[in-house]
Amino acid sequence: MEKGGFLNEEQIKTAEAVGSISYKMLELARSKIKEGARLLDVANEIEKYAKDSGYELAFPVNMSINEYAAHYTPTAFDDKVFGKNDVVKVDLGAKKDGVLGDCAITIDLSGENQKLVDASKEALDNAISKVKAGVKISEIGRIVDETIRSKGFVPIKNLGGHGVGLHDLHAEPFIPNYDNGDDTELEEGMVIALEPFATNGKGYVVNSDIFEIYGYIEDAPTRDQNARKMLAEVKSRYEHEPFAVRWLSGLFDSRFSLYSAARELMRVGAIEAYPALVESGKGMVAQTEAEMLVEKDGCRVLTK
């Protein structure tokens, strides 16, 4: 696979296998996310399922609730449980040989926000039906926008779909959830993920002050022994894909040591944070996502 998400025949087979496991992880999440269930327990079970199946993780399981749109994953010491009124976005993916899966669903535990969930899902279905080589990115965005607005909601404009490359979860092209006038055309053999976000808020997300997911940048000197220990582990195991702080909790004997090491590595520029994203108007958010291979006359959904 080259940067930008183009596959050869062998890699297509791998992508189909990765997509299948990713979808099964989503179905497991659907069965486990219930009122009173602990977020950390559910995340651990989903991630363990991938590893027990012979796969790695493309990124930590995201379980973003209500106005949080993306990038929330449980902490190493998380006692948070799902509430009866929660709208839960589950975004996840498996990995094998650098080939990445990426898919998402929204679970409405109250049943009162199903129209919002359906708006996101229908937008994805309508967009998928139009995907083929030669279609303009702006056309995909227009379909997503029109579908969500027809249901009485608005798309989140600064989130969208993307290419999926080898060890590159967010490769070119960016595929917005509205018509941004981009005349770039989808190409045959390109792997993309479409992910309509619908909200009853303002339609934009901003960074929160929650930092649980990080990515490796480069080696950087530090005198902090715990930070050096963390950096060595990150470089050996998570050099290419994002990682969760909780994955490194076994290295340290306290929460303070764990998070102070992460802060130090951020300070020296060795890692970067992916803060949890929150809807700017505190509106409820729903997300649905699938990964697909662009073909001449349509597309092949991989995460199924």
Instruction: Report domain 9-208+279-301's class.
Output: alpha beta
Architecture of domain 213-273: Orthogonal Bundle (1.10)
- Delimit the domains of the chain by residue range: 9-208+279-301, 213-273
pLDDT tens track for 248-291: 999 999 999 999 999 999 999 999 999 999 999 999 999 999 99
Specify the residue for token string 């070119």.
Answer: 172
In the structure encoding, which two tokens stand for residue 205, read together? 């997300």
Residue 293 CB neighbour total at 10 angstroms: 23
Indicate which residue of 16, 47, 67, 102 is catalytic. Answer: 102
Q: Return the pLDDT at 1.
A: 40
Active site residue 289: yes
* Residue percentage of the chain with pLDDT more than 70: 98
pLDDT tens track for 130-156: 999 999 999 999 999 999 999 999 999
Active site residue 170: yes
> Is the pLDDT at 2 greater than 80, yes or no?
no
Active site residue 78: no
Dist CA 291 CA 5 (whole Å) = 11
Q: What is the DSSP letter of 185?
A: B
Q: Return the pLDDT at 8.
A: 83
Active site residue 86: no
Active site residue 145: no
Active site residue 71: no
How far, rounded to the nearest angstrom, does the alpha carbon of residue 158 sit from its chain's CA centroid?
14
pTM of the entire structure?
Answer: 0.95
Q: What is the mean pLDDT of the chain?
A: 96
CB-CB contact of 21 with 55 (8 Å): yes
